[in-house]
Amino acid sequence: MTRILIPLLAILFGASCFNEPDCIVTASTTIKIDFKQTKTDKITLLKSVVDSALIFDYVKVSGIDSSFIKYVKDKSYTSITLPINPKNKTITYYLNRRSVSGATTRLDSIQFSFADETRVIAPKCGAYTYFLDLKVVQTSFDATKYKLVSTQLLKNNTNVQVFF
């Protein structure tokens, strides 16, 4: 009887600690873009998706006057996390890529739209704005060159994969 009673009491006392809400906010005001490429194994002919490192002359965000990312010699990116403007429901990113040799550049753009929703996690936590329903409105990428992975803007969450 005591073998059952002691663990049961421990569970009841432990459960009382969970009356306070966890005010963990996972909302984010950034869009994360991962750069990928498809590789084919020469022996098995199996395809796999791997990171692709890109060099940028600059990355600009609509509504921000200066470049968000500027060219740094020998610096490449496998992903970038770019801010949104919560006041606007669309945002455009301009990605000026540099070739590995540095001889040529290419300007790509991708425009997103999103919605916002205010949620109250618990009365003691307050209200937080979550951005969701992310959509690609317009892009210079071919439809097969990008994949929308997550439509919610959350911390440490990839939203789009772009294939090169």
Q: Determine the pLDDT at residue 20.
A: 59
Whether the Cβ atoms of residue 92 and residue 83 lie closer than 8 Å to each other: no
- What is the pTM for the complete model shown? 0.82
Q: Determine the pLDDT at residue 16.
A: 47
- Whose tokens are 């090169």? That residue is 164
Q: Determine the pLDDT at residue 134.
A: 98
Per-residue pLDDT tens digits for 29-66 = 999 999 999 999 999 999 999 999 999 999 999 988 88
- Whose tokens are 């959509």? That residue is 135
Residue ranges for the chain with pLDDT beneath 50:
16
